[in-house]
Amino acid sequence: MAQGCLMHCRHFVESWEMDRKDFDELALSMRVQDPGYYDAIQAIAAKITERIQKAPFIVEVSGAQGSGKSTLANLLVGVLQEVDGLKAGALSLDDFYKTRETRQKLAADSHPLFAVRGVPGTHDVALLNRVLESVRDRRTTKHPVFNKAEDDRDARWQTLESLDVLVLEGWCLGALPQPESLLEIPVNELEAVKDPGASWRRKVNGELASGEYRQAFDCDMRIFLAVPDMDSVLKWRLQQEQDLPPGAEVMDEGAIREFIMYFERITRAMLGDLPKRSDITIFLNEEHKILEYR
């Protein structure tokens, strides 16, 4: 990255107070009403400009369902784009889900629970790593888009131009595999009833330990959104469903409650582990407001 760009970045962070109105307008356009985001984004931007030595700089944002990962990622990108000469873009781990046909085959060959997208093993990590490699090489990069309404990959791909900063968001980014002994005891009804022999969770755990996932989790900065508890995840996920546009297929509370169970084991493990390993952890309260960050 050019030295001039770095100087612009530092100047921008130092003059943040002058730009509060612009930030508020950007946040409002993304339906963000929590004033705590201003200070949190300022801290993240400052850390990026302190650490960035060469482009592209990879930032990974992780957190439970409904925690606000995509909002934070897009807000950060919007702020960084205001810096003269700094090009920023965002990617979502969700867009790298395997196709529905591939997951159905995986479910038939391995375990029925793999038909549901989300857990490690349902992502095309090889494709993600190729995209990340292309971004690191500062090439114009095409990437897939996942259509959640169709539960399948969209035929049209999108393009990222050469970037200075890439923000990759995804719920399990940075998660570590658990010790084998912890896999024996189910953490919820889904695991107890649909995975009584623990074969599914062992396979998921094995995916987390694989070189492909470890490679994808390699980044320059890690940000973790820490939810207060699993009840909040359910409440926020329900709110997301209620905010879907008219005509969209909406899951009821029972379906959402079961869906969250797929992610619960890894989510709980991340809550206990990632605050110690992340560059910045943003702690959320039950009202989905920023309680503190550090």
What was the pLDDT predicted at 2?
Answer: 42
Tell me the CA distances in angstroms from 124 to 17, 26, 96, 98, 185, one per residue in order.
42, 33, 5, 5, 28
- pLDDT band at residue 79 under the 50/70/90 scheme: confident
What was the pLDDT predicted at 228?
Answer: 97
How far apart are alpha carbons 174 and 223 in whole angstroms?
A: 10
Mean pLDDT along residues 197-214:
98
- pLDDT band at residue 16 under the 50/70/90 scheme: very low
Of 177-191, 239-253, 268-282, where does mean pLDDT reach its minimum?
239-253
Burial call 197-209: b when 16+ CB within 10 Å, e when fewer: eeebbbbbbebbe
Instruction: Confirm whether pTM is higher than 0.75.
Output: yes
In tens, the pLDDT along 231-264 reads 999 999 888 888 777 766 778 899 999 999 999 9
Question: What's the whole-number average pLDDT of the chain?
Answer: 90
Phi, psi of 96 (to 5 degrees): -105, 20
How far apart are alpha carbons 153 and 82 in whole angstroms?
A: 32
Mean pLDDT along residues 145-166:
95
Mean pLDDT along residues 129-147:
97
Please count the other Cβ atoms lying within 10 Å of the Cβ belonging to residue 126: 12
In tens, the pLDDT along 100-128 reads 999 999 999 999 999 999 999 999 999 99
- pLDDT band at residue 4 under the 50/70/90 scheme: very low
Amino acid at 170: G
Does residue 225 register a pLDDT over 60? yes
The domain covering 3-293 belongs, at the CATH homologous superfamily level, to P-loop containing nucleotide triphosphate hydrolases (3.40.50.300)
Give me the residue spans of the domains in the chain: 3-293
